[in-house]
Structure 1
Amino acid sequence: MKRLQLITFFTLFIGLLSFSQSATIRGVILDENNYPISEVNIKASTGEGTATNVNGFYELKIPSGQEVSVEFTHISHKRVLQVFNLKNGQEVEFNPVMKLEAEQIATVVLTSSTRQKVNGVTTIAPKVIRTIKGAQPGVENILKTLPGVNISNELSTQYSVRGGNFDENLVYVNEIEVYRPFLIRSGNQEGLSFVNTDLVANVDFSAGGFQSKYGDKLSSVLDITYRNPVDFGIRADLSLLGGSIAGETVSKDGKFSGIAGVRYRDNSLILNNLETEGNVEPVFADAQTYLTYRFSDKFHLNFLGNISLNKYNFQPENRQTNFGTLEEPVALLVFYDGQEEDEYQTYFGAFKANYFVNDDLTLKLIGSAYHTVEQEFFDIFAQYRLGEVNTNIGDDDLGEVEFSEGIGSQLTHARNELDAFIVNVEHRGDYSVDEESTLEWSIKYTDEDIRDRLVEYEVIDSAGFSIRPPNFSQPNLQPYESFSGPLTAFENIRALNRVKIQRIQAFAQYSKRTTWGENEVFYNAGIRAHNWTVSGEAIESNTQTVFSPRAQFAIKPNWDKDMLFRIAGGLYYQPPFYRELRDSSGVVQPDVKAQKSFHIVVGNEYSFEMWDRPFKLVTEAYYKGMTDVNPYTLENVRIRYRAKNNAEAYAYGLDMRLNGEFVPGTESWFSFGYLKTEENIDNRGYIARPTDQRLKFGALFQDYVPNMPDLKMYLNLVYNTGVPGGSPSYADPYDFQIRLRDYRRADLGISYEIVNPERRYRSNWKKAFKEFSIGFEIYNMFNNQNTITNTWVRDVYSKRQFAIPNFLTPRVFNLRLSARF
């Protein structure tokens, strides 16, 4: 199963084609009395320049995908300097105010770009991501506050969007698709998010109705851009949970630039506070880099690399879970023997070449390789007692189980190994037909080679009797006749798979901005094609092809109020990845079809001013009708598919988000989401899907002390109604539709900026820093008992099965130190 753990990448770049790699800045320049200033000279660090007209208006095109300094100068005013890092085709409004007595003004009105408005994309500032850490720091910690995004496990980086599961989300870094490990079954085992927030320049997120240029998934797109540095710098972060350091540099001639980061994470502080006591060693580390070399103005070569090493060792000892009611308290007491040893090693590398033929055409070729070697080994023997709890205050055994209603034992065993190697070669192209029209296209080849050994079993003993699986066919007529059948494990899965999947994907799309009367109109239309072949040892080869048309339309009426209306839709397919091909017994089913979904999203954006500060209210209503659905069960974060297209489903809902400067100089937002998603398996009627989380409230609030602006705080709030709690092994999900308790969580962070980047200091030691802050965080500050799954235990007397909640993390305190040089 093991391969060489270092990957050699050798990529030949030939035959490139694509579109103008530029972005646009436009706006009006005013003086202190709000009068326009004409003949302001505007010059970019890359050489582009222009000047304002008699009305103070200007428009400037700059290169995209890199940091560009733009200087605004006028003979009667002090200069203004602003740094931009925009995406290809992005349009930004920048309205500086030039004063007589100030060297540089930071008064900026920054509105969403035209392209983001058309796409229905949510943009998150990198500073917010770096500031708001959370129990699992990263982009995902911020996503959970957005409407339509549900994360019910603070230890996990996985998220569900508008009724979809974790496998239905796309993640790109600088147009390169990235992957995650396969065998993770609980949030405790998860390591770091692939995205290193210290390297991020831009974060875009779309919760549905996204364009054809993005791949074939059913739910969402997370589009990350790593920055190209323009100067030398170092950023460091240290806390009780680990640390990170990132450095960036650029050569004197400007041809080479690079940024790299190393992270280390140890979740012992959090995991040692869980109900299950024992010895736990969760150690996660990774190293990541993004390099750029500019051979000439026309040809740039980029490299994205990542190495991740995750280890999770656990020796459980005991657990006591109290549940029930005040009148009838019940407890589960478990004693453990054994251990779990999990290890995940992933290696990823990608080259991306850009050839700028002219101002209208850019040529790109992307080659990437991903290698993951994973193991999941455990032997855990558990003996349990289920019974009534002593509630008599003053008794020596207060809180202990004094009368057992159920006793038993359980032995779980696994020797699971997986080795996956995925190679991609893609050509992308963009062509600017004119200033308002863009044509984009791509063709991509993917080769997936997966070797998987699945060996796991579970033996259950209740009150001295071995429990056979419910589908065991031999009758048991005891005590009238002796039973001579074999002892059989309650669950026994053994499979050895060697699978190859070859894919060819292509898309073409056209975008245009125009006018309709006095109204601005934006539209996009495109189509994707996806062909894949599944083959392997003892597998009959199977080939399928799907086509996915998609379209978007937006109109900005010429009204006094700044309003924009948007509609998007199309057919979205999700050709099966390896996990979707593997059924509950571990056997690969090569004829599994692509799940199909029809999307329709209707949205409105209303930008307005309140308290003389900018705000935006975004509202979206959506509907997804799904066929050829592949049903699955969700155990913590482990998804087990049936590998059958024997269901249909739907999802609809409403998302709302209000964001703006509730406190001057800070960004905060409040979110609301309503979701309903159900599935019909084998025409038995509709039941709730595992991700049916009806109501969602989220908030991210930032503030500071008015007389001490360097003392800052953030509050991260999430409330989700409970999802279906799952069912025991082999049970019919139609018989188990109870829900987990509501998810409620509040994280608080308070920090003090010892060195503020906007100030000058006389102290020598402070001059060595660009930023320096110290703070503390309280995770789950109200100590809510949230649950992720249920443990099912049998009552020997009533023969009932109790759903016993598995609680998530309690209140935890953390200290943090951050600096930038």
Structure 2
Amino acid sequence: MREIILLLKRYFTENKPTDPLRAKHLLTSTLFFILCHISFGQTATIKGIILNENNLPVEQVNIKHKNDGTTTNKNGFYSITVPANQDISLVFTHLSYKSIESSFHLKNGETYEFNPVMNSTIEQIATVVINSGLRKEVQGIVTLDPEAIRKIPGANAGVENLLLTLPGVSNNNELSTQYSVRGGNYDENLVYVNGIEVYRPFLIRSGQQEGLSFVNTDMVKNVDFSAGGFQAKYGDKLSSVLDITYKNPYQFEANVDASLLGASVSVENVSKDSKFSAIVGARYRDNSLLVDAKETETNYKPVFGDIQAYFTYKFTDKFHLSFLGNASLNKYSYEPETRQTNFGTLTEPMALLVFYDGQEKDQYQTLFGAFKGTYFANDDLTLHLIASTYHTQEQEHFDILAQYRLGEVNANIGDEDLGEVEYSEGIGSQLTHGRNDLDALITNIEHKGNFNIEEHHLEWSLKYTNEDIRDRLVEWESIDSAGFAIRPANKPANEQPYIPYTEPLEPYTNVRATNHTTINRFQAYGQWSKRGQLGPHEVWYNAGVRVHNWTVSGDGITSNTQTVFSPRGQFTIKPDWEKDMLFRVATGLYYQPPFYRELRDRFGVVQPEVKAQKSFHLVLGNDYSFKMWDRPFKLTTEAYYKKLTDVNPYTVENVRIRYRADNNAEAYAYGLDLRLNGEFVPGTESWFSFGYLKTEENIDDRGYIPRPTDQRLKFAALFQDYVPNVPSLKMYLNLVYNTGVPGGSPSYADPYDYQSRLPDYKRADLGIQYVVTDRNKQFDQGWRKVFKELSFGIEIFNIFDVQNSITNTWVRDVTNKRQIAIPNYLTPRVFNVRTTMKF
């Protein structure tokens, strides 16, 4: 564009028109030329595989748009670049098959997959209108671009990292992949990969122990997310659904991603007859770069690695069999040495000095495998059979002695003892011990189906689950303050040294339990949906119901059986207005039958009579699509209300949730979510999110207090940009601001006694990337020829070096016996280098 303007400037300088009429015509032509150039500069990509009625690839199919075109290769694959932000038509022709004409309307920079089937005997549909994204919008589902997931920087980059930029989704710990949605906790979110539910480890206590998320971003094809009011076909959880689809390869491709935090490699290919396809990914992660930057000096030796595979074989055009497998090994060795935390005010600076002895050794080994058979009975009926097994063996062993000294800090500038503790106000020690082991085997078998009857779409499922869990919990903590043992929190404090204490010494906390628990579950759902017209307006209906029956039994456990029914419904209308508006309403009763973690109370004892938590959802949504600066934008607004009963109260310590296993509370949550996304910079998608939430609970009729997830305000932004004169130099900015949640209270404290909030969470991550080659910048010779994509970059995590905290360490003042909360800070500013390659 710059070159065009310079040529026009030169032309006008050398050929100044003297005739006004000629000048007018010349100006009109010039403007028309520029507008045409701008219009054609906005492009999208359509790609896919073309098969025949026998599900075999069709070679040499001509795909044409006006004067542009391409043909399919021997595997039936094609890719074509088309104008964006306008209605365009593609014509698919072949001498042996009937022609297909399809219409599209895509956004700038969008890649859309279209896989038509060519038929030799039946007339093809004259026109198939594809408006990408509309199918998901009517269901209240947010679709995320997998390419954005792979590029956006974050201390724990991946799908969950991108979710945190959406309204209503929160997490105040960048080392964790867990997230809470609209007032729910980490256990209230469903995660599916290719329609198969996946699980996370049980014994994780802190973000730095977690390692890798189950989802391998290199293998992801599609990401759908619903923050509430979801359909009956999704499972029984209270908050959200993350639905991941892995790729079905159509050609050979290899991806490599490497940084100071680890590396990942994935390879995908398809057989010559296109019947067998495979994608395999391996990952390794090392959090040392982040943990070593924290205030605690440690010997930290993590090994987080996994390998995943997704295979598909097409036995016939009617029957396909796929396998999804995952093997993960997370080893965590942690030996803290010293720590100094400065806090207080400018006038009264304080410091906590801690000297450690001991270590922690954790290990999480998980194996997951799932077979999925799909039978295409005809064009209207599809049947699935899914069998999966998840096995996890986890251990958490630690003995750590922490000896602390709390006091005033020398703040005299120029003094040789500047920053040293001069006067001790607290001296003590803390000894923590743990020998926690867990072995869980979860087996599922499920039948699913869907059937189309004209405009009606029916879906159903029947599922059986067996959960066999063996668990040993041994965990105690002893606290000593100034030479005197502190009694448990539920007992009167001793008055030493003023009054002698003659009772036996007890640890401050002491949990011991051994459980062997079996849970058998039967689940089923049926739902109906229809797209139609209501006068001149387009409408979509959905109604369904789930049923869930479960039985808890085991060694020393009295068997208990319960059943719940969950009706749900959605309605969407797209008015025939000049403005592009869409309105949604979703409602239903959502139950969460207890998983093993929810059955275990704070003393480690399994309570089989725990009921399913129940929540009434009401979600009102609006999508407004418009153009600004001649580019597409969309404003999504959702207001929601939840009424919860039979609530199982819990406390959160870092990322570990401890339940009371007693449905003795009720709660509510309401809020407003806003998200504006569009091309703030031409050719890139960015968005800004805002969320307001209020959630409170009433435990034992003692009155309403904020829940641990009461994240009042949330602001986030994901911004992509590039240097106009150097478009290969790109920038990715990830901003998150969350107001503080209630937390940081002492272990097992009464929540009615501690209602202080953690500080606000503020974080900005920046990624700068130089693209050497990509699909728009290819080389026919030289060393760059072998790369489909190649980029190098630098990432800056927490660029403003904000001190965020997730928990508190509680120490005692010798003088007045008060407890002082010392914040445990998260990661400071950290630099990372990264390279990505695609072959």
Q: Could you tell me the TM-score, scaled by structure 2's length?
A: 0.87
Distance change >3 Å, CA 306–CA 71, structure 1 → 2: farther
Task: Give 3-state SS (helix, strand or coil) of 2:784's partner.
Answer: helix
* Letter paired with 2:478: V
- Would you say 1:306 and 2:296 are equivalent positions? no
Q: CA deviation at 1:405?
A: 1.1
* Letter paired with 1:800: R
- Would you say 1:174 and 2:174 are equivalent positions? no
Distance change >3 Å, CA 480–CA 223, structure 1 → 2: closer
Task: Give 3-state SS (helix, strand or coil) of 1:733's partner.
Answer: coil
Q: 1:282 — aligned with what?
A: 302
Q: CA deviation at 1:556?
A: 0.3
- Would you say 1:495 and 2:513 are equivalent positions? yes
Residue of structure 1 aligned with 2:63, choices 67, 72, 80: 72
* Letter paired with 2:50: T
- Would you say 1:622 and 2:640 are equivalent positions? yes
1:537-582 per-residue CA deviation (whole Å, 9 max, x = no partner) reads 0000000000000000000000011100000010000000000000
Counterpart CA distance in 2 for 1:621 and 1:511 is 23
Q: CA deviation at 1:81?
A: 7.5
Q: 1:634 — aligned with what?
A: 652
Counterpart CA distance in 1 for 2:391 and 2:654 is 25
Task: Give 3-state SS (helix, strand or coil) of 2:208's partner.
Answer: helix
Q: 2:463 — aligned with what?
A: 444
Query: 1:603-618 alignment to 2 at 5 Å?
Result: 603-618=621-636
Instruction: Say whether the 8 Å CA contact 2:153–2:734 is kept in structure 1.
Output: no
Instruction: Say whether the 8 Å CA contact 1:249–1:258 is kept in structure 2.
Output: yes
Instruction: Say whether the 8 Å CA contact 1:45–1:68 is kept in structure 2.
Output: no
Distance change >3 Å, CA 418–CA 82, structure 1 → 2: farther
Residue of structure 2 aligned with 1:348, choices 363, 368, 382: 368
Q: CA deviation at 1:371?
A: 0.3
* Letter paired with 1:642: R
Q: CA deviation at 1:482?
A: 4.9
1:737-796 per-residue CA deviation (whole Å, 9 max, x = no partner) reads 111111000000001111122233243311111001111100000000011111111112
Counterpart CA distance in 2 for 1:465 and 1:588 is 34
Counterpart CA distance in 2 for 1:384 and 1:553 is 59
Q: 2:569 — aligned with what?
A: 551
Q: CA deviation at 1:68?
A: 13
Counterpart CA distance in 1 for 2:163 and 2:361 is 30
Instruction: Say whether the 8 Å CA contact 2:394–2:438 is kept in structure 1.
Output: yes
Query: 1:137-286 alignment to 2 at 5 Å?
Result: 137-286=157-306
Instruction: Say whether the 8 Å CA contact 2:55–2:317 is kept in structure 1.
Output: no
Distance change >3 Å, CA 540–CA 71, structure 1 → 2: farther
Instruction: Say whether the 8 Å CA contact 2:336–2:358 is kept in structure 1.
Output: yes
Instruction: Say whether the 8 Å CA contact 1:43–1:70 is kept in structure 2.
Output: no
Q: 2:707 — aligned with what?
A: 689
Query: 1:402-441 alignment to 2 at 5 Å?
Result: 402-434=422-454, 436-441=455-460
Instruction: Say whether the 8 Å CA contact 1:118–1:552 is kept in structure 2.
Output: no
Counterpart CA distance in 1 for 2:184 and 2:738 is 15
Residue of structure 2 aligned with 1:108, choices 76, 101, 106: 106
Counterpart CA distance in 1 for 2:47 and 2:195 is 29
* Letter paired with 1:73: K
Counterpart CA distance in 1 for 2:689 and 2:263 is 31
Residue of structure 2 aligned with 1:518, choices 536, 559, 572: 536
Counterpart CA distance in 1 for 2:164 and 2:713 is 13
Instruction: Say whether the 8 Å CA contact 1:32–1:98 is kept in structure 2.
Output: no
Counterpart CA distance in 1 for 2:757 and 2:491 is 29
Distance change >3 Å, CA 480–CA 295, structure 1 → 2: closer
Instruction: Say whether the 8 Å CA contact 1:352–1:367 is kept in structure 2.
Output: yes
* Letter paired with 1:515: Q
Task: Give 3-state SS (helix, strand or coil) of 2:684's partner.
Answer: coil
Q: 2:478 — aligned with what?
A: 459
Counterpart CA distance in 1 for 2:373 and 2:296 is 50
Q: CA deviation at 1:725?
A: 2.1
Counterpart CA distance in 2 for 1:81 and 1:135 is 42
Q: 1:23 — aligned with what?
A: none
Instruction: Say whether the 8 Å CA contact 1:316–1:336 is kept in structure 2.
Output: yes
- Would you say 1:814 and 2:832 are equivalent positions? yes
Q: 1:131 — aligned with what?
A: 151
Residue of structure 2 aligned with 1:784, choices 793, 802, 821: 802
Residue of structure 2 aligned with 1:715, choices 733, 751, 759: 733
Q: CA deviation at 1:43?
A: 12
Q: CA deviation at 1:470?
A: 2.9
Task: Give 3-state SS (helix, strand or coil) of 2:626's partner.
Answer: strand
Q: Could you tell me the TM-score, scaled by structure 1's length?
A: 0.89
- Give the total of aligned pairs: 758
Q: 2:559 — aligned with what?
A: 541
Counterpart CA distance in 1 for 2:48 and 2:710 is 50
Counterpart CA distance in 2 for 1:477 and 1:268 is 44
Residue of structure 1 aligned with 2:50, choices 13, 29, 46: 46
Q: 2:723 — aligned with what?
A: 705
Instruction: Say whether the 8 Å CA contact 1:44–1:69 is kept in structure 2.
Output: no
Counterpart CA distance in 2 for 1:70 and 1:148 is 46
Deviates more, 1:132-141 or 1:635-644: 132-141
Deviates more, 1:178-187 or 1:795-804: 795-804
* Letter paired with 1:130: R
Residue of structure 2 aligned with 1:380, choices 395, 400, 423: 400
- Would you say 1:391 and 2:411 are equivalent positions? yes
1:184-239 per-residue CA deviation (whole Å, 9 max, x = no partner) reads 00001011110000000000000000000000000000000001000011000111
Task: Give 3-state SS (helix, strand or coil) of 2:293's partner.
Answer: coil
Q: 1:53 — aligned with what?
A: none
Counterpart CA distance in 2 for 1:123 and 1:520 is 21
1:386-412 per-residue CA deviation (whole Å, 9 max, x = no partner) reads 111110111122112111111110000
Q: CA deviation at 1:44?
A: 7.4
Counterpart CA distance in 1 for 2:264 and 2:748 is 44
Instruction: Say whether the 8 Å CA contact 1:77–1:98 is kept in structure 2.
Output: no
Counterpart CA distance in 1 for 2:466 and 2:61 is 43
* Letter paired with 1:442: S
Distance change >3 Å, CA 155–CA 813, structure 1 → 2: same
Distance change >3 Å, CA 82–CA 483, structure 1 → 2: farther
Structure of larger gyration radius: 2
Task: Give 3-state SS (helix, strand or coil) of 2:752's partner.
Answer: helix
Distance change >3 Å, CA 107–CA 624, structure 1 → 2: closer
- Would you say 1:318 and 2:342 are equivalent positions? no
- Would you say 1:764 and 2:782 are equivalent positions? yes
Distance change >3 Å, CA 336–CA 68, structure 1 → 2: farther
Distance change >3 Å, CA 500–CA 403, structure 1 → 2: same
Instruction: Say whether the 8 Å CA contact 2:153–2:733 is kept in structure 1.
Output: no
Give 5+ residue unaligned stretches, structure 2: 1-34, 40-45, 78-83, 92-102, 111-130
Residue of structure 2 aligned with 1:734, choices 752, 769, 776: 752
Counterpart CA distance in 2 for 1:606 and 1:529 is 36
Instruction: Say whether the 8 Å CA contact 1:192–1:265 is kept in structure 2.
Output: yes
Q: 1:588 — aligned with what?
A: 606
1:352-407 per-residue CA deviation (whole Å, 9 max, x = no partner) reads 00000000001100000000000000000000111111101111221121111111
Instruction: Say whether the 8 Å CA contact 2:322–2:373 is kept in structure 1.
Output: yes
Instruction: Say whether the 8 Å CA contact 1:584–1:640 is kept in structure 2.
Output: yes
Instruction: Say whether the 8 Å CA contact 1:726–1:733 is kept in structure 2.
Output: no
Distance change >3 Å, CA 356–CA 106, structure 1 → 2: closer
Q: CA deviation at 1:80?
A: 5.9
1:644-685 per-residue CA deviation (whole Å, 9 max, x = no partner) reads 000000100000000011111111000000000111000000
* Letter paired with 1:245: V
Instruction: Say whether the 8 Å CA contact 2:85–2:632 is kept in structure 1.
Output: no
